[in-house]
Amino acid sequence: MSILDTIAEKTRQRVRAARAADPDLPDRVLKSVPEGAGEEEILPFEAAMRKDRLSYICEIKRASPSKGLIAPVFPYKEIAGEYEAAGADAISCLTEPYWFRGNLDILREIRRAVSLPILRKDFTVDSYMIYEAKEAGADAVLLICSILTEEEIREWLALCRRLRLSAVVEAHDEEEIRMAVRCGARIIGVNNRNLGDFTVDMENAEKLRACVPADRVFISESGVKDRRDTETAEHMGADAVLIGETMMRARDKRQKLLELKGQPFKEIPLVKICGLTAEEEIGFANRLRPDLIGFVFAPSRRRVDPVKAAKLRALLDPGISVVGVFVDEEPEKIIGLLLDGTIDIAQLHGHETDAMIAEIRERTMRPVIRALIPEESEDDSWKKYPHADMLLLDAGSGSGKTLDWSILENVDVPFILAGGLTPENVGEAVRMVRPMGVDVSSGVEFPEGGKSFEKMKRFVENARGQADS
Q: What is the mean pLDDT of residues 318-325?
A: 93
Residues 409-437 have a mean pLDDT of 88
Contact criterion met (CB below 8 Å) for 257 and 56: yes
Cβ 274 vs Cβ 323: under 8 Å: yes
Return the pLDDT at 197. Answer: 63
Helices 127-136 & 150-162 angle (0-180, nearest 10) = 30
Kindly provide the residue ranges of all beta strands, DSSP E only, lying in 32-102, ordered along the sequence. Answer: 55-60, 63-64, 68-69, 90-94
Q: Which of 121, 134, 253, 451 is catalytic?
A: 121
Nearest to 119 by CA among 161, 160, 83, 167: 167
Fold of the domain spanning 270-465: TIM Barrel (3.20.20)
Topology agreement, domain 3-260 and domain 270-465: yes
| Residue 414 predicted with pLDDT over 70 | yes
User: What is the reported pLDDT for 258?
Assistant: 86
Rounded CA separation 208/222 (Å):
15
Assess whether 333 carries a catalytic annotation: no
| Fold topology of 3-260 | TIM Barrel (3.20.20)
Catalytically annotated residue among 59, 96, 329, 445: 59
String of DSSP letters for 149-215: -HHHHHHHHHHHHHTT-EEEEEESSHHHHHHHHHTT-SEEEEESB-TTT--B-TTHHHHHGGGS-TT
- Known catalytic membership, residue 121: yes
Question: Of residues 64, 191, 192, 321, which has the active-site annotation?
Answer: 191
Q: How distant, in Å, are the alpha carbons of 175, 432, 439 from that of 394?
A: 48, 16, 9
CB 367, CB 389: distance < 8 Å: yes
- Is 225 designated active site? no
In the chain, the amino acid numbered 330 is E
Q: Give CA–CA dist 297/119, Å, rounded.
A: 41
103 is catalytic: no
pLDDT of 234 strictly over 60: yes
Torsion of CA 118, 123, 124, 125, to 10 degrees: -170
Residue 264 has pLDDT above 60, yes or no: no
pTM of the model: 0.66
Q: 276 falls in which pLDDT band (50, 70, 90)?
A: very high
- 170, 176, 206, 352: the active-site residue: 170
- 192/206 Cα distance (integer angstroms): 9
Residue closest to 145 by CA, chosen among 134, 136, 156, 129:
156
DSSP letter for 403, please: P
Flag the least confident range among 23-27, 185-189, 370-374, 443-447.
370-374
C-alpha to C-alpha distance for 292 and 48, rounded to whole angstroms: 36
**Known catalytic residue at 67:** no
Boundaries of every domain in the chain: 3-260, 270-465
The pLDDT tens digits for 56-96 are 999 999 988 878 888 888 899 999 999 998 889 999 999 99
Which of 365, 379, 302 is CA-nearest to residue 335?
365
* CA–CA gap between residue 434 and residue 439 (Å, rounded): 13
Of the pLDDT bands very low, low, confident and very high (cuts 50, 70, 90), residue 399 is: low
